[in-house]
Each structure stands twice: as structure tokens, then as C-alpha cells.
Amino acid sequence: MKNSNNIVRVSKVTKDFAMGKTLVHVLKGIDLEIKTGEYVSIMGPSGSGKTTLFNMVGGLDKPSSGCVFIDEIDISQLDAYELAWLRCRKIGYIFQTFNIIQVMTALENVTLPMIFAGVPDDEARQKGLELLDLVGLKTRFQHKPFELSGGQQQRVAVARALANDPAIILADEPTGNLDLTTGDEIIKLLKMLSREKNVTIISATHDLKMLNVSDRVIWISDGRIEKIENREELSISLGQVGERWG
């Protein structure tokens, strides 16, 4: 297996959407490689194709042409069962709106992906408690989502995303619905996890705080990659970034 340190590889990906009779080219040829354990942020104005690229990488959508490899598996070749397995075992999702399942407790939310993965009940429960402890919610495992604050719900979502030890965590504006301090805590939590568990974190964001912890920032504009900045370059140009995004 070549390039085994590339957990995600996007090759010449285009995506068209039919809007009525006109064909809209949302992605116009994207090439991208993301290494294992990297913390990558995808930035771009709305309508730039950021979310579409994000969905491709997450196996939620298939490209019109080109290939997306996750762990060197071409996801466009997978059938529905294999895709579900991929989502269950390889990818953890964190959403802007938390998406905690309302009818289940924090612990049940965390164990659900493990149930899908066929983990025995006791083992799933044990691991769920450990993960909730890791995100600092050990005492609240029996709470229902409406009894938790936004930040706590997002912590549950982080624990849930980690349930099956995924290779990738996809975070779609994870701080979008949180206040500054809570958002900061979630970002620190993600960074800590990426370091400790060697999980690749890919996030789509507008949050500048996110950039400070990112290893790389990918700027998308008009369906193409505008530039890719490493962190070292970032700290220099942050003033300019602030101007653009502040």
C-alpha cells in the first residue's frame, strides 16, 4: 500500500448539481491529501463548495468525477452496506447543531455507534462511560439532551464520534452554535484528542480560533483550492485573515 500515511486522498474531484435545467459546477477539480493525525480546517465563503467537499470526504456524497480515497479505499466503489460500515467504523461526525438523539440519554447516544458496530452491551457501556469521562461528563451520563447545555451536548457528540475509534473525525462548524468560551473548550478538546489518539480531524469552519490549532488550512473558493497554508505561515498572515473574516 503506497502513501499509507494519507488517510484521505482526493483526486481530480468534480461535483455538479442540477438546478432545474442548468448544471451547476460546484467543485471544479480538487486534489487534496490529508495525513493521518493531521488537524485540517477547510475555510471558504458560503457557496464556495466547502460543504460539498466536506461531504465527499465524509462519504456522505459521491463525486461526479474523480475519486475520494479514505484509508486507500475508493468510496465511490462502495455499496450502501460498505458505506454504512465506513461511516460507522472509520468516520466520526460532529455537527454544528450537535444532533444528539433527543430520546436517548448521553450514554445511549455514545453507545449507539458501538451497537451498530456489533460491540457487546457491557463492553459498549464501559467504553461509553470512559469516553464521557474523557470529555468531562462522567457524572451526567444518564441525562437526556434537553437537560444538557449546548457545550455539554457537543461534548457528548465528541464522545459519540470517538465511539468506534474512527480514523477521521469530521466536524462541520463544531463551534458554530456555541459561545466563545465553550467553543474554545471544544476546540481544545478536539486538539487534545487528535494528539493523544492520533485521530485525523477535518473541520469546516468560519471560526478563527480553529485556525490557531490547525496544522493546515485549506482555503476553498469557487470550487477550487485557492491555497493551502501550514500553521507557520498562518501565524504571519493571521492579521490579513482577520481582516478578511473578522
Partner 1 sequence: MQGKTKANPPQKQVVLPYGKSVEIAVKSIKSRFFRSLITTMSLILAISFYSYIKTTSHIISGIFASGDKVAARKLSLQGYEIPAGEKYKTTPKEKWILYLSLLVCVVGIVNTQLMAVADRFREIGTMKCLGALDRFILRLFLIEATLQGFIGSAIGAVAGCVIALSGALIKFGTAAVANIDLNNILLSISSAIFLGCLLSIIGVLYPALLAAKMRPVEAMRGRD
Please give the residue ranges that form the binding site for partner 1 (CB under 8 A): 1-3, 51, 55, 58, 60-61, 67, 69, 71-74, 77-78, 80-82, 84-90, 93, 95-97, 99, 101-104, 108, 112-113, 115-118, 144, 160, 172
With a CB cutoff of 8 Å and minimum separation 6, the contacts of 242 are 208
What are the beta bridge partners of residue 68? 10
Nearer to partner 1, 136 or 176 (CB): 176
* Residue 9 beta carbon to partner 1: minimum distance, rounded to whole angstroms: 8
15 and 61 Cβ atoms separated by less than 8 Å: yes
152 and 189 Cβ atoms separated by less than 8 Å: no
Beta strands in 95-214 (DSSP E): 168-172, 200-204
Helix axes 121-134, 106-116, angle to 10 degrees: 130
* Residue 44 beta carbon to partner 1: minimum distance, rounded to whole angstroms: 16
Nearer to partner 1, 160 or 229 (CB): 160
* Residue 1 beta carbon to partner 1: minimum distance, rounded to whole angstroms: 5
DSSP three-state, residue 88: helix
**DSSP state at residue 76:** G
Nearer to partner 1, 101 or 192 (CB): 101
Q: Which amino acid is at 62?
A: K
Cell numbers for 27, please give them. 467543485
Nearer to partner 1, 114 or 190 (CB): 114
Cell numbers for 156, please give them. 457528548
Nearer to partner 1, 83 or 208 (CB): 83
* Residue 236 beta carbon to partner 1: minimum distance, rounded to whole angstroms: 33
Nearer to partner 1, 173 or 229 (CB): 173
Q: How far apart are CA 124 and CA 103, in angstroms?
A: 19
* Residue 72 beta carbon to partner 1: minimum distance, rounded to whole angstroms: 4
* Residue 89 beta carbon to partner 1: minimum distance, rounded to whole angstroms: 7
